[in-house]
Chains A and B, each alone.
Chain A
Amino acid sequence: MDWLFEHNNAEIFIEMISNIKGKDALTKPPIRHFVSMMWSRYQPRIVAYVFFPYLIYLALICVLSGSVVDTFMKTREQLLFMKEFDNLKLAKDPLYDYKTDLHYKALVKIHQDNRAFFLVESIFLLVLIVYFGIMELKQYREAGVAYFFDAWNLIDATSLCLNFSFGSMFFICVLYDEIYFPRELILSIASWAMLFMWLKVFYWFRLYSSYAYYVRLII
């Protein structure tokens, strides 16, 4: 294997094995030996470029689905209800105008203050979805239809679709002053999205040698 460490042979070799279609070649003993030798260099880069962004992605979805969507959509529902209440002239006072109601004014202020922040959060989420979506698309291009034969690829694809549905629905609701998607629908999708995201965290433990054995044992 000495030739591998002369000049930029290792770089060429890595590029070659990364372009091999089908991952069977990676199970060959010399290549496995090489990868295990270089693992101390690969691991920090995988952590920095994939695992760390994934943790941010997970945290963002946790925050959005855990409290933000619920709070934001409930306030929106309340505001629309007050508007509708006035339009239908259901108030006892015939001169009642929802726009002068102090409670309405306070709600609008809270709603508008939060809106810009939530808009940034949902855009950031969509950016992360695109980042991980590109990775999945690359894998699909390399593997072709075989991509769908691996259970973890299916989980990845399902998770991405759920996250995109959740993120885009919330983004549209924040952007426009209407409820295009009911809160219950967004949160139902979010709950499944969260489950898949956490299950993927379980798979991420393969990165660490002390856990990899147990993860492989279970899966």
Chain B
Amino acid sequence: MLLTLVVMFAFANFLYVADQTLPENDPNPYAGVYFGYKALDAVITVYDMGALLDFNVSPNYT
């Protein structure tokens, strides 16, 4: 459990910091928007992607 959390935090932190390089109100952030708190959203994104395999590709990318 703890090991899973460490890996999740690793990628979540990566997404969270990478998101800060984007301009304000970018329509395609790396982490999805769930609760509006960027740090929490990044963790949820990683859980969604890594554990539930939900890649949730935005239609804006196509």
Contact = CB atoms under 8 A, between A and B. Distances in A.
B14 A188 contact: no
Interface residues of A, number: 21
A198 B5 CA distance: 10
B18 A188 contact: yes
B17 A190 contact: yes
A87 B16 CA distance: 36
A72 to B, nearest CB: 12
Nearest to A205: B3
Contacts, number: 54
Nearest to A201: B6
Chain B interface: which size bin? 10 to 19
A202 interface: yes
B21 A184 contact: yes
Contact of B10 (A66, A187, A188, A199): A199
A107 interface: no
B17 A202 contact: no
16 contacts: A62-B13, A66-B17, A66-B39, A187-B18, A187-B20, A188-B18, A191-B18, A191-B21, A192-B14, A194-B10, A194-B13, A198-B7, A198-B10, A198-B14, A202-B7, A214-B3
In the A-B complex, list the 6 residue pairs whose CB atoms are closest, starting with the nearest: A198-B10, A191-B17, A195-B14, A191-B18, A184-B21, A194-B13
Interface of B: 2-3, 6-7, 9-11, 13-18, 20-21, 39
